[in-house]
Amino acid sequence: MALNKNVAKSIKTRQENELRENNKLIAEFMGLVKSSYRNMYWTEKSKEGFGEGELVNLLYHTSWDWLMPVVDRIEGIIDEHGCAKYNVRVEQSWVDIIDNHTSDEIVKVDGDNRREATYKAVVEFIKWYNEQDTLTDDDKTRIEEGLDHKG
């Protein structure tokens, strides 16, 4: 019995760590500023680069109010001609993110429900996006200046 409890505890801890890391990834993409408090972020950055505004716990994995501004941010990334680069399509239990120029499917993720699938898709997109060598200085500036977590 003790072994089963330890295994279950280990799995839960790993899942919590994964959620924490994924929320951190999204927060950085959204321009939030890490605070000195564990798992807490500031909603704004001062001119000096310090956190200010509201101090928040990250809720991307549980709240549409937090998650949809991330979708808006992804769809708000524009190319040098002012056109949207990406389209996020949210269906009943899956989400895909398409490159509008090439029609390539960048991410396609299933989930138990729309919110879970959307969360997984934005995490996968951000990981992919951060690996791209094609980020322009304008793209990086747009991400850094970002909207607050509520759009």
What is residue 115's predicted lDDT score, i.e. its pLDDT? 96
pLDDT of residue 66: 95
Instruction: Locate the DSSP E strands across the chain.
Output: 33-34, 40-45, 51-57, 86-90, 94-99, 105-110
Cα–Cα distance for residue pair 122/150, rounded to 1 Å: 16
Predicted TM-score of the model (pTM):
0.79
**Residue 59: predicted pLDDT:** 93
- For CA atoms 127, 147, 101, 81, the dihedral sign is negative
Model pLDDT, residue 147: 42
Q: Give the chain's radius of gyration (CA, Å).
A: 17
Angle at 127 between CA 18 and CA 59, to 5 degrees: 45
Domain boundaries, the chain: 2-145
pLDDT, position 5: 74
Q: How do the pLDDT tens digits run along the chain, 151 residues long?
A: 566 777 677 777 888 889 999 999 999 999 898 888 877 888 877 777 777 778 888 999 999 999 999 999 999 999 888 899 999 999 999 999 999 999 999 999 999 999 999 999 999 999 999 998 665 666 655 555 554 343 4
- Pair 24, 35: CB distance under 8 Å: no
Position 106 scores a pLDDT of: 96
The structural architecture, per CATH, of the domain 2-145 is 2-Layer Sandwich (3.30)
